Structure 1
Amino acid sequence: MKKNGIHVGRWIWFSFLVCLQFPALLMAQQTAPVSGKVTGTGGDAIPGANVVVKGTTTGTSTDAQGRFSLNAPSDGTLVISSLGFASLEVNIGGRSQLTVTLAEDQKALEEVVVVGYGTQRKSDVTGSLSSVTSKDIKAVPVTGVGQALQGRAAGVQVTQASNAPGGGVTIRIRGGNSINAGNEPLYVIDGFPVYNESGANLNPNDIESMEILKDASATAIYGSRGANGVVLITTKRGKSGQNRIEFETYYGIQQVRKKLPMLNATEYATLVNEANTNVGRAPVFTNEQIAGFGAGTNWQDEIFRKAPIQNYQLTASGGSDKTRYAVSANYLNQQGIIINSKYDRASFRFNFDHKINDRFNIGTSLNVIRSRNNAVPTDADGGSSGTVVYSALNFSPTQPVYNPDGTLVVFNTPGRIQIGSPVAQALGTYNLTVGTRMIGSVFADYKIIPGLTFRTSFGADVNYSKRSLYLSRNTATGTQLSGQASIINNQSSTWLNENTLTYNKTFGNVHNLTLLAGYTMQGNRYESVEARSQGFANDILTYENLGSASTALVPASSASNWQLNSYIGRANYDYSGKYLLTATVRADGSSRFGASNKWAVFPSASVAWRLSEEDFLKGNRVVNDLKLRVSYGLSGNQEITQYQSLATLGTQNANFNNTVVIGIGPSRVANPDLRWETTAQADVGIDVGLLSNRITLTADYYNKKTTDLLLSVPLPYVSGYASALQNLGSIRNQGFELGINSTNVNGAFKWTTAFNIAANRNKVLNLGDQTEFASGDASGHLQLPNSGLVRVGEQIGLFYGYQSSGIFQTQAEVDGSAQKTAKPGDRRYVDQNGDGAINASDRVILGYAQPKFFGGLTNTFSYKGVELSIFMQGTSGNSIFNINRFEQESLTGVSNQSAETLNRWTPTNPSNTIPRANAVGNAYVLSSRQIEDGSYLRVKNINLSYTLPSALVSKAKLYNVKVYVSAQNWITFTNYSGFDPEVNRFGQSTLSQGSDYGSYPGNKMILAGLNIGL
């Protein structure tokens, strides 16, 4: 494996090739080519139908025109099947051409979906869930699991937490339930529960389907971890009689979606002089200097680039009636749109199922992922003032990229804000994180008696990562410290054992009963160690020899454990497919909570009535399916750090005789009563199928209330502690979801539409003895920790500040205002309480980070192998806190400014939006000027593909060849002035959503791809 790039290891390819040998099954009979076409009763072609030679593993699939071709014995039989149609056996009888018509099968139309610890027919589901299939995932090439959910499922809001290569997303399913605990959903990967698996760690190409469980009836089976919703991920497994090898690849070019208009060198120097002369200071630049600057350096042009992305996937799958397998290898390489940023990942997957006999089945799932992430300076490395994007917006355009001697310029012009050059920051920072992850399980199913099955599984998720960081002399910090290096090693090992009994029985042909009981155990061990040093003789060895530095910094290490034991039970009953009942209960015991509250019970119940099965609707030509659903239940949230209920000790510094001594002292007060957050949720839903299910509709209304919030509460100073985590307060989320799928035209030309929209209203109901408290994270060197507010009666994620009412135009306006010290040209604020002064009492709610509506729309058009898909996604009614505006419109002259400041106030230009230039400036005040409308509608993906005719590809011994081109994020409709409205500078933070400050911008991309099957 190369040091500066990742390649799929020889061991992966060797294992892959070895696994290919398992399905090598040869037919002893003489075979001959057979081709044909499969259609429905209306004459429409059926693409993707399975065509298998009976009694063998030889098979193929029909192409987009319903055609197939394979070799088969002249006296053999073909078994032809497709979802939604009754299977059909056709005797070849020596023929070389066949025409096959399949009849619709109403039972087959009731597809099977994955639910917690089992599967159900979709028609029998009483809870609320959404499905995302592999076809949906492939429609928009993505690097991470979370991205595949965006705009695809009603009620699931996905926001990019980081646009950097390998960056994750923030996901809220029916809103956020918690203030201090986690709000991300639980992911269950082939039965293995993992919290917050939203990044690029798992290969999306390996996913067969994702089911999103939303209401309590669906999520209560996961008890203490189900309150934020559950995403069930099923990876691809082999299918009997379908031995296939598939190769998929795409290559694309990314570029920044837009650049922000800034002042050039001449405009900037002019403003600097004006800002100083306005306060009685001497100009900084001479007229000769200004005349010689010209346009100067456009720092955005210097750091942004067109960056390639490429992906390669090789998959082999198939099997027989007894053994099925699926094995794949994948390589992704994504260069970042900012210089020196990149992410690459190699992964290997192996799924295996074997039927030992009619009663005993075994299987395994294994994923191995190796990733390398080379990141440019981020918020974690010293705040936004240390980020490349921040520097590009604020660094003086009068400075060149290189000194006359060819070395990089590092520092800003004297007198300007002292930050590093964006190019030097990007090229001079070595920030590499290498991760290795193995997640897998083995299982066994045993049929004890007819209808009763015991299943046991054992799994592990082992994750190792190493972050190596070196700040060279090309960075501001590295220059001051003569280089600084650190190495952080993290390792996490999670184990899982699950044991379930499932009983299925039908009584009297109308009473269908399924019972599930089980016991599960899961535990984790986490360790971290960090070494740091500074003062290197040169930048040659970077972080590879910490001992060569002159100063070794204090090392750090940590370790933690947690364990969760659970009992689960579920009963599903339906009467004649009309009346459906589901009852679920889970009891969880968690090490994270107090001695008095280790265990909690989470029950749920749901009922459904399939009116379409009643005599008065059966056979109705318009209404094919109609189901009403009602559910209620409890689920929990345990996503807090370990040991919060215990009294802990920590290091404390003390001064003895002018010498700092490190000691140990109490750092946390015990809370033996600490317990789960509990979310009670009620849901009412309806599922409708019309006109032979050409139109399907799902609608839900939900109301959920979270109590016993895990809230950090301030303590009296006399206690010796600053705060403690307690169960206090409540939050409510309520809203509606609507999803509509339709086949608008169904013939040689086909047009389908998928649409979803959701609205969630979040409200804080109680905060204990408090009615409100300030929130929001500090914003780099600006230190604006109180940008938000949590207030009873309002939603989480609001922006709180002063209402701007324009610019003072005259001294008379100043004299008659509450800002007596202001001058004409200064920004004016509204005196909300009329007390004649502008102070904290005049702050008001300026906007909300959470949207009023969000959703997605996909239109797909196909004709004779040509397919065009247009996917749109967006939000409405949300605000963005544009922190960049504090500095890009400060007009002090210490940093570069937005081009909007060309319209700044002067006595001859009475602007009412941009204040005057002022070198003294004012304290940064959060006002309505920094809060912008964040609504947007994005054409997320335009995909044009062509599937070659089977008659052509079969000559090359292939069953499928597809080529496509795709444009992603190419068109965005928004009023937001920043790089991108899909932004969240503070990642998955609950209290600081919708903030933009030096964030890595989003990109737009053009790519071309090829899929080949043989």
Structure 2
Amino acid sequence: MKQNKRILKNQINLLLCLICFFQFTISANAQQTNRIRGQITDDTGETLIGATVLIKGTQNATITDINGNYSLNYADKNAVLVITYLGFKPYETAINGQTVINITMNSNDNMLEEVVVSVAYGTQKKVTLTGAISVVSGDDLIKMPVANVANMLSGSMPGISTISYSGQPGADNPEVFIRGMSTFNKDASAPLYLIDGVERDFFQLDPNEIESISILKDASVTAVYGVRGANGVILVTTKRGTEGRAKISGSFSYGIQQATRLLDFANSYEYALYKDEANFNDYGTYLFQQGASVADDLANPNSPLYQIKNHTNPLIYSDTDWMKMILNQSAPQTISNVNVSGGTNKVRYFTSVGLLTQDGLFKNFDADYNGNFYYHRYNYRTNLDVDFTSTSTLSLNLGGRLEEKNRPRSAEDQDQLFRRINWSNPLAGLGVVDGKWIKANSLYNRVGGSDGLQPYYGMGFSYAVENVLNLDLAYTQDLKMLTPGLKFSLKGAYNSGNTQKKERSSSIEYYVPTYKKDMGWLPDSTTNPDELVLVQNGTRGTLSYDESSSVWRNWYIEGAVNYNRTFGKHEVSGLLLANQNVKYYPAGDYPGVTNSYAGLVGRVIYNYNTTYLADFSIGYNGSENFASNRRYGIFPAGSAGWIITNEPFFPELNWLSYFKIRASYGVVGNDRGNNNSRFLYLPNTWLKENIWGNRGDHDPSYHYNFGTGGNWQQGITESLIGNPIVTWEKAYKQDYGFDFTMFNSRLSGTVDYYYENREDILYEASSSVSLGMALPQLNLGKMQNEGVELDLKWNDKIDKVQYGAKFNAAYTKNTVVYMDEVLSPYPYANKTGHSINQNFGYKVKGFYYEGMENDLKEPLANQSDYELKPGDVVYEDLNHDGKIDTDDMCALGYPNYPLLTGGLTLEAKWNNFDFSVLFTAGALTSRLLQSSFREPLDETADRALMQYQFDNRWTSPETVNANTLPRASVKSRSNNYAASELYIRDADYIRLKNFQIGYNFNAPFMKKLALKQFRLYVTGFNLFTWDKLKILDPEMYTRERSDYPVMRIINFGINATF
């Protein structure tokens, strides 16, 4: 750890030296003698904040402050001021010896022509773009006080959805989909992440480094990525320096994290009642009740039910809320960043250093080590551009991060720690009291089960440090001496990382309350037989030590020739590019074998009079995941657009200034099928080095017995047949859309319809048991995916109030066309024809009661020879064959992932105040409760009972219409807890995702400190959620493996710019 911090310290010192050097360079070039000042406003008199004021022909520049004021030194008496601001026409004026110049800027109705967006291997004006791309700025991202950049994208753009299952520090990566899932495997549906054109980790970027994020969605903008572009591309452009004085920006925020929602469990009295009901329903006896009724027991202070309800004997009958015992109500986080940017007409730079700290919710009790979750991340970046000549530029990007992660060590699979905590029943013990871990004695409290501390308490901690370095070097040469518009570029990138892990394991004593009468070895066991004492079990150990490390690295190289030239009304652009990417020590089954990609790219863009638009691209791309004679493929795509409002015949309309229609079609590939498995074209053969089974005897699956003497011999087994013709998935994508600007650019919008056929999806074919091995992954699967997207933006001003609104919505639905399913004779039972995420289960007639057959006037179907009792679930016999089996299962509810997603952003500025709020929503989605979520007490009958399971259980025929869950039982598990519509829950939600209010100061102290901006703000993230699920956060899993809770964050921050 010390070595990693020393490396980070050296890297930060280098960045600070660069900052000082650049600051000195700018200062040395800024020896001025005259000063000009003034105020910049728009045509309504509103001040413009952040407008650029430049002395023409120099690097001498500044930006306006919160009141639109500027001040600038200059030397040349013939100096000319140039003022620029996005959405307004540039303004120039000669100074002519004046000391004060106030300027009014005029809005630019054609501001769309100024907007440039990042596309594959370059940039393009948005006005002439014919592909489906959505863009979000880095300024919008930093409004959200979260560690993970992907969580900042939620609700910001149509067509991209993020699902946050966990808020664990350092492990909160959400699932990200562009236009939903288009293949069978959710991991194989992940998009391609490119940072400045190079594949890198996206989730742990510092948002202060990000200029913009482009979401590339249709084939016309992703086909150039070949076998890796079918799921869409997330293209991140980091910030770069611009000509002008050094601009120093700093920010700091302190946040409080809280769980959005924790599972609600029944207390010990409710738990005992439920156990009694289950035991009586199954066996006719009670565990806790001793009298003729519960009321009789509650009148008897010696009865277990009385002691449980009134907490009169807590050592025997505890009532522990394990969430409160284990978790703090909140945990702190901090986010800080300092960045410097500026440059001359030859050198431009951007430098940033960031630090994020997050603590987890776990209490540390009295441990002498930190057994809580925590995450520390140090991000750094320097982007440098140097113009060696008027035609050649060298760019250097140096970035990286250092991460520290800590978590409690657990005997469980680390991902199942919360599952075990959620299993713990309230009678399992008192937890930690006065420094002692007190467990229940199952001889007395009538139930077993582990308590919430058992999975991790006293076991030590796991600590990991990861150091990541990213380096880009790019050279661009303008070849206008050969022909105008021709450029050549060469780019190389190197990425490396190393991780050091430390496991410090230990053990700890616990205490069990025991009556002396059960401890015959004590001298006074007979004189004080009913005295309870705490008997120690185990001893407190010392921390052991285990260390491991891992490394990875990859490199990327790219060479390209670009051409862009205008001939009268004709504008032509072209690109020829070759690239290669090699990964060393890749994740997966073969870390010792490098993984490579290589390809060629061609693209031609044509624009006639900014009216008729066409874009044609082709990718010739290969992946080593396939056999050598099947590694490369051709991926063509094309798109066209028509800006109708630029036609001479189109009338001038006050309400419509821009309207463009566009369409695209192309073929893209996806080589990530089956969890990105490699070498599927080869059979899996394994050398069985261990001839002993788990029981210590000879295991036939590990060896063979043949030859004389009956000796066991080591053998090789073939577990999977190879598929020499395996290939990538092919996505045939169509997109049709239109863009518009209305009402003097106050309203702008985009509408898209898309349709995709995906073929050759990898799927494991069914095989006969007699074959003795699994069949290979075959390109059998087919899916369709289609949807509609809407993106609207409104900006306006009323008096001194600037306000805006952004609304986006997307509907997307996938359908399985073919999946090698053995089709049922009953169409409703087939998964083919439904969404890949569709839930299936039984329809329910109701809860059984005596005489139900007579009331229904039909016999009840045989439910696996199960004898129905009052309160049991009765299922619909959909195929009318007299029995309940899998042929009676059908689609229930909506898919797991929302078919409809959306976001609404509202923003306003008034005087020095600014305000923004973001709502996100997901609709047409359902959750099927699984495992403990639908099976009270689970198979061991001693696990926790959730509150809704107690409150909604069937108790008598009189309450059948008021209850939604079957009777309490353990023996009826196979019948009552099968997947059915009883356990389908509406998971639609609306969430107040982000709220921020800020105040920009304009005070005398700012001038003394050379402050151009000083702002205080408060932000809330995941503040409120409106949903019907209620059990837990609507984005989390309703399954056995529960996760760390999703977090709500209240954040207080400060921004300053010098």
- Relative to the length of structure 1, the TM-score reads 0.88
Q: Which residue of 2 aligns with 1:749?
A: 801
1:540-555 matches, within 5 Å, as none
Q: Which residue of 2 aligns with 1:1012?
A: 1056
Q: For residue 828 of structure 1, what is the amino acid of its counterpart? A: V
- Is 209-218 or 881-890 further displaced after alignment? 881-890
Asked if residue 130 in structure 1 is aligned to residue 178 in structure 2, the reply is no
| Cα distance change, pair 480–976 in 1 and its aligned pair in 2 (3 A) | farther
Q: 1:291 aligns with which of 300, 306, 313?
A: 306
Q: For residue 292 of structure 1, what is the amino acid of its counterpart? A: Q
Residues in 1 aligned to 2:796 and 2:573: alpha-carbon distance in whole angstroms: 38
1:318-337 matches, within 5 Å, as 318-337=342-361
Q: Which residue of 1 aligns with 2:10?
A: 11
Q: Which residue of 2 aligns with 1:822?
A: 868
Asked if residue 914 in structure 1 is aligned to residue 958 in structure 2, the reply is no
Say which SS state the counterpart of residue 868 (structure 2) adopts: coil
| Cα distance change, pair 81–907 in 1 and its aligned pair in 2 (3 A) | closer
Asked if residue 856 in structure 1 is aligned to residue 894 in structure 2, the reply is no
Percent identity over paired residues: 28
Say which SS state the counterpart of residue 933 (structure 2) adopts: helix
Say which SS state the counterpart of residue 915 (structure 1) adopts: strand
Q: 2:331 aligns with which of 289, 292, 307?
A: 307
Q: Is the 8 A contact 1:851 1:876 kept in 2?
A: yes
Return the offset for 1:408: 5.8
Residues in 1 aligned to 2:406 and 2:823: alpha-carbon distance in whole angstroms: 44
Return the offset for 1:718: 4.0
Asked if residue 442 in structure 1 is aligned to residue 457 in structure 2, the reply is no
Say which SS state the counterpart of residue 221 (structure 2) adopts: helix
Q: For residue 401 of structure 2, what is the amino acid of its counterpart? A: I
Q: 1:631 aligns with which of 664, 667, 670?
A: 664
Residues in 2 aligned to 1:561 and 1:290: alpha-carbon distance in whole angstroms: 65
Residues in 1 aligned to 2:670 and 2:653: alpha-carbon distance in whole angstroms: 45
Q: Which residue of 2 aligns with 1:257?
A: 260
Q: Is the 8 A contact 2:816 2:833 kept in 1?
A: yes
- Relative to the length of structure 2, the TM-score reads 0.85
1:375-394 matches, within 5 Å, as 375-376=407-408, 381-382=412-413, 386-394=416-424
Q: For residue 958 of structure 1, what is the amino acid of its counterpart? A: L
Residues in 1 aligned to 2:143 and 2:421: alpha-carbon distance in whole angstroms: 37
Say which SS state the counterpart of residue 732 (structure 2) adopts: strand
Q: 1:464 aligns with which of 480, 483, 498?
A: 498
Q: Which residue of 2 aligns with 1:782?
A: none
1:351-390 matches, within 5 Å, as 351-376=383-408, 381-382=412-413, 386-390=416-420
Q: Which residue of 2 aligns with 1:881?
A: 928
Return the offset for 1:867: 0.9
Asked if residue 113 in structure 1 is aligned to residue 117 in structure 2, the reply is yes
Q: Is the 8 A contact 2:504 2:544 kept in 1?
A: yes
Q: Is the 8 A contact 1:395 1:422 kept in 2?
A: no
| Cα distance change, pair 426–980 in 1 and its aligned pair in 2 (3 A) | farther
Q: Which residue of 1 aligns with 2:210?
A: 207
Return the offset for 1:717: 3.7
Q: Which residue of 2 aligns with 1:591?
A: 624
Q: Deviations over 1:47-69 (max 9, x none)?
A: 22112334544432223442333
Q: 1:183 aligns with which of 170, 186, 189?
A: 189
| Cα distance change, pair 322–759 in 1 and its aligned pair in 2 (3 A) | same
- Is 367-376 or 788-797 further displaced after alignment? 788-797
Return the offset for 1:481: 15
Residues in 1 aligned to 2:947 and 2:395: alpha-carbon distance in whole angstroms: 62
Return the offset for 1:638: 1.0
Say which SS state the counterpart of residue 37 (structure 1) adopts: strand
Return the offset for 1:915: 2.7
- Higher-Rg structure is 2
Residues in 1 aligned to 2:379 and 2:829: alpha-carbon distance in whole angstroms: 43
Q: 1:792 aligns with which of 801, 819, 832?
A: 832
| Cα distance change, pair 149–410 in 1 and its aligned pair in 2 (3 A) | farther
The CA RMSD measured in Å over matched residues stands at 3.2
Q: Is the 8 A contact 2:985 2:1029 kept in 1?
A: yes
| Cα distance change, pair 407–260 in 1 and its aligned pair in 2 (3 A) | closer
Q: Which residue of 2 aligns with 1:399?
A: 429
Q: For residue 153 of structure 1, what is the amino acid of its counterpart? A: M
Return the offset for 1:560: 3.0
Q: Is the 8 A contact 2:508 2:539 kept in 1?
A: no
Say which SS state the counterpart of residue 903 (structure 2) adopts: strand
| Cα distance change, pair 528–791 in 1 and its aligned pair in 2 (3 A) | closer
Q: Is the 8 A contact 2:230 2:669 kept in 1?
A: yes
Residues in 1 aligned to 2:500 and 2:441: alpha-carbon distance in whole angstroms: 30
Return the offset for 1:451: 1.4
- Is 117-126 or 874-883 further displaced after alignment? 874-883
Q: 1:514 aligns with which of 543, 554, 573?
A: 573
1:480-491 matches, within 5 Å, as 489-491=549-551
Return the offset for 1:403: 6.7
Q: Which residue of 1 aligns with 2:1042?
A: 998
Q: Is the 8 A contact 2:460 2:507 kept in 1?
A: no
Return the offset for 1:223: 1.2
1:956-995 matches, within 5 Å, as 956-983=1009-1036, 985=1037, 995=1039
Q: Which residue of 1 aligns with 2:848?
A: 808
Q: Which residue of 1 aligns with 2:745?
A: 693
Q: Which residue of 1 aligns with 2:519?
A: none
| Cα distance change, pair 744–889 in 1 and its aligned pair in 2 (3 A) | farther
Asked if residue 670 in structure 1 is aligned to residue 726 in structure 2, the reply is no
Residues in 1 aligned to 2:379 and 2:440: alpha-carbon distance in whole angstroms: 39
Q: Is the 8 A contact 1:7 1:346 kept in 2?
A: no
| Cα distance change, pair 321–981 in 1 and its aligned pair in 2 (3 A) | same
| Cα distance change, pair 232–318 in 1 and its aligned pair in 2 (3 A) | same
Q: For residue 443 of structure 1, what is the amino acid of its counterpart? A: A
Q: 2:954 aligns with which of 905, 924, 935?
A: 905
Asked if residue 46 in structure 1 is aligned to residue 48 in structure 2, the reply is yes
Say which SS state the counterpart of residue 730 (structure 1) adopts: strand
Q: Deviations over 1:754-810 (max 9, x none)?
A: 00000011011122474489xxxxxxxxxxxxxx99822111111112223432243
- Is 924-933 or 901-910 further displaced after alignment? 901-910
Q: Which residue of 2 aligns with 1:348?
A: 380
Residues in 2 aligned to 1:888 and 1:63: alpha-carbon distance in whole angstroms: 62
Q: Is the 8 A contact 1:425 1:474 kept in 2?
A: no
Return the offset for 1:46: 2.2
Return the offset for 1:1005: 1.6
Say which SS state the counterpart of residue 660 (structure 2) adopts: strand
Return the offset for 1:156: 0.8
Return the offset for 1:965: 0.1
5+ long unaligned stretches in structure 1: 530-555, 774-787, 986-993
Q: 1:568 aligns with which of 588, 601, 609?
A: 601
Count the aligned residue pairs. 957
Q: For residue 457 of structure 1, what is the amino acid of its counterpart? A: K
Return the offset for 1:222: 1.1
Q: Which residue of 2 aligns with 1:545?
A: none
Residues in 1 aligned to 2:605 and 2:656: alpha-carbon distance in whole angstroms: 26
Say which SS state the counterpart of residue 262 (structure 2) adopts: coil
Q: Which residue of 2 aligns with 1:604?
A: 637
Q: Deviations over 1:592-636 (max 9, x none)?
A: 112331110000000000112112347532211111101100111
| Cα distance change, pair 495–127 in 1 and its aligned pair in 2 (3 A) | same
Residues in 1 aligned to 2:660 and 2:587: alpha-carbon distance in whole angstroms: 51
Return the offset for 1:421: 2.4
Q: Is the 8 A contact 1:353 1:363 kept in 2?
A: yes
Q: For residue 920 of structure 1, what is the amino acid of its counterpart? A: K
Q: Is the 8 A contact 1:250 1:310 kept in 2?
A: yes
